[in-house]
């Protein structure tokens, strides 16, 4: 069994490095995993990289296998796909997903990994955590047959929500973004694309993922009578400004938060987080999600890649990290 690995750490806000780590001994019920791919969650991880996690949120923003503390040094991440090299015979040799940071190999309890279906490639499987967020959001939102829905923000979460919504009977899905480069991706997902100024109103549901005041305001403005905004954005330490005049009260509009840290109340009595993650991986049998994989870099390049993602010089939806064959 491996005794050492390499991990990516945020040394301080805006600077990362690769550090050697000592792997713990394999205990009863543990698995040793060699990483194949990891994914960068641009919204959350770039905020962490830039040191923009509010102190009041340090506890709630901890990743399951995080080491260190905000704002740094901290080892952070939660989209990891690898192969089990040692552990229970039922898992040995299986490709698995784990909410683990960017690290070449690791040891975790067997219950922390979920087998990836054989027909889901590792690149696509790194989206499991994001699709899980989308599943939880749609449990919260409970869209109905024939609803008119707009997703504001064509990032990873918004695009995953849109793809799942296209599978609801009769649901009309539009994704709004300011970046014309997102139009092709949205089309490949089976949804319509619109710029903010061209977005149609009268929406039964707006799912907001842009993490901006303007995006949240637009989401409200697009609603029909008694429509709902489901807000999946995480704003970090950014203040949000919103006008609640106009139709907010007369239209009985609503804004509701959704967050993946707990299972939606709509399914909390019948689904566990493990059930939710397993469902996300099953949904990833859909090759349509491949449109979200927009780049790949080697693990050794992460200290240079993360700043470029954070400042927008490297545009991406889901940027994956390759760990080679070793």
pLDDT digits (tens, 9 = 90+) for 51-105: 999 898 899 889 999 999 999 999 999 999 999 999 999 999 999 999 999 999 9
CATH class for the region spanning 4-127+284-322: alpha beta
Nearest alpha-carbon partner for 98 in 117, 119, 86, 83: 83
Tens of pLDDT, residues 136-176:
999 999 999 999 999 999 999 999 999 999 999 999 999 99
Domain boundaries, the chain: 4-127+284-322, 130-257
Q: How many angstroms from the chain centroid is the CA of residue 242?
A: 25
Nearest alpha-carbon partner for 192 in 231, 150, 157, 147: 150
pLDDT for res 233: 92
Answer whether CATH 3.40.50.720 is correct for domain 130-257: yes
Whether 292 and 318 have beta carbons less than 8 Å apart is answered as yes
Binning the chain into helix, strand and coil, the percentages to the nearest 5 are: 30, 30, 40
- Residue 255 pLDDT exceeds 50: yes
């Amino acid at each position: 069994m491996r005794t050492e690995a390499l991990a990516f750490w945020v040394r301080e806000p805006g600077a990362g490095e690769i550090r050697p780590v000592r792997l713990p001994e394999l205990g009863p019920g543990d698995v040793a995993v060699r990483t194949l791919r990891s994914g960068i969650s641009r919204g959350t991880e770039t905020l962490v990289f830039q040191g923009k996690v509010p102190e009041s949120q340090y506890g709630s923003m901890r990743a399951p296998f995080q080491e260190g503390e905000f704002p740094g040094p901290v080892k952070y991440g939660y989209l990891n796909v690898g192969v089990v090299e040692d552990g229970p015979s039922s898992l040995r040799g299986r490709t698995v997903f784990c909410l683990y940071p960017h690290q070449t190999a690791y040891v975790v309890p067997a219950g922390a990994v979920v087998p990836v279906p054989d027909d889901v490639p590792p690149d696509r499987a790194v989206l499991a955590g994001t699709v899980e967020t989308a599943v939880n959001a749609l449990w919260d939102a409970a869209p109905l047959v024939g609803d008119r829905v707009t997703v504001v923000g064509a990032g990873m979460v918004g695009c995953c929500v849109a793809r799942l919504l296209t599978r609801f009977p009769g649901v009309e899905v539009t994704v709004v973004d300011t970046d014309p480069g997102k139009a092709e991706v949205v089309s490949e997902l089976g949804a319509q694309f619109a710029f903010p100024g061209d977005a149609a109103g009268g929406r039964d549901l707006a799912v907001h993922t842009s993490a901006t005041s303007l995006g949240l305001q637009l989401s409200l403005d697009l609603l029909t009578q008694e429509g709902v905004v489901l807000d999946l954005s995480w704003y970090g330490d950014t203040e949000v400004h919103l006008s609640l005049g106009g139709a907010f009260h007369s239209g009985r509009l609503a804004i509701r938060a959704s967050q993946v840290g707990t299972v939606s109340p709509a399914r909390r009595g019948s689904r566990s987080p493990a059930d939710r993650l397993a469902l996300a991986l099953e949904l990833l049998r859909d090759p349509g999600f491949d449109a979200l994989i927009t780049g790949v870099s080697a693990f050794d390049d992460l200290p240079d890649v993360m700043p470029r993602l954070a400042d927008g010089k490297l545009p991406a939806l889901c940027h994956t990290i390759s760990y080679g064959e070793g």
